[in-house]
């Protein structure tokens, strides 16, 4: 399975990963439109929330439009998606993206753009 892995101890809170993700898929640099989240804790450390391809989104989808590809990555069939947003609401990591200018949500495809943007190696792309 191809998926993201994280090491929060390396995160410096630069949010470059979020900006790169949203830039790639929404053409704007907006952390709210990124399929991962970096949360700045009060103690100066950072929590990284990434999609671990757990499949909860596919489980709650009534219409079976989220399916697991051969790579292990869960993909949304946007043509068939009715935009009900249950997957977004039920995502345990809260890293699926809903944007009012699109009718369907987005999720992490483990493309690695965030990994390339991360200056410290806090996010890695692994294949199990």
Partner 1 sequence: MIKMCDVPRYAGPDAAELEKMKKAHVLLNKVEYERTPLKHGYTDKLLTVDVTDKSVKISDIPAEVKEKFVGGKGYCLRYLWDATTPETRWDSPENEIVMSAGPIAGITQYGGTGKMLVCTISPMTDIPIDSNVGGFFGPYLKFAGFDAIELRGKSDKDVIVVIDGNKGTISIEEAPLEHLDSHLMGEELTAMYADDENDRKNVAVVCTGSAAEHANLSMLNFTFYDPRRNVVRLKQAGRGGIGRVFRDKGIKALVCKWQGVKANLNDAYDFGILNKVGLKFHREVANLDEKQNFMRSTGTAYSLRTLADYDIVPTRNYKFGDAPGIDNMTAEVFRKDWLTQGGADGCWYGCSMACAKTADHFLLKTGPYKGQRVCVDGPEYESAAGLGPNCGITDPQAVLELNFYCDTYGIDTISYGTMTAFLMECYENGILNEERTGGLKLEWGNSEASLEMLHQMARYEGFGKIAALGSHKQKEYFAAQGWGDMDFMNDIAMEQKGLEYSEYGSKESLAQQGGYGLTNKGPQHDEAWLIFMDQVNNQIPTFEDKAEALYYYPMFRTWFGLMGLCKLPWNDIVPADNSTTDEPAKVPEHVANYLDLYYGVTGVRLTNDEMIRQSERVYNFQRIFDIRLGKGLRKNDAVPYRSVGPVTEEEYLSRQERYDGQLVDLVGYTEEQVKAMSLAEKMAATRKFREDRYQSLIDAVYPKRGWTLNGVPTVAHLKELGMDLPELLEVVEPLQDLQP
Give the binding site for partner 1 (CB under 8 A): 59-60, 62-64, 82-86, 88-90, 98, 100, 103-104
Q: Which of 57, 58, 10 is nearest to 38 (CA)?
A: 10
Rounded least distance, CB 94 to partner 1, Å: 8
The whole-angstrom separation of Cα 73 and Cα 37 is: 18
Nearer to partner 1, 16 or 98 (CB): 98
C-alpha distances (whole Å) from 44 to each of 17, 50, 125 are 18, 19, 25
9 Ramachandran zone, left/alpha/beta (phi>0; psi -120 to 50)? alpha
Residue 76 β-bridge partners: 66
For 105, the token pair is 């949500």
- Three-state DSSP at 34 gives coil
């Amino acid at each position: 399975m191809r998926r993201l892995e994280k090491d929060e101890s390396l995160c410096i809170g630069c949010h470059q990963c979020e900006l790169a993700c949203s830039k790639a898929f929404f053409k704007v640099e907006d952390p709210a439109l990124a399929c991962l989240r970096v949360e700045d804790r009060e103690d100066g450390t950072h929590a990284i929330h990434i999609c671990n391809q757990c499949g909860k989104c596919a489980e709650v989808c009534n219409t079976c439009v989220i399916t697991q590809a051969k790579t292990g990555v869960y993909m949304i069939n946007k043509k068939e998606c009715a935009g009900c947003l249950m997957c977004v609401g039920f995502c345990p990591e809260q890293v699926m993206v809903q944007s009012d200018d699109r009718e369907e949500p987005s999720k992490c495809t483990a493309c690695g753009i965030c990994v390339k943007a991360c200056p410290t190696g806090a996010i890695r792309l692994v294949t199990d």
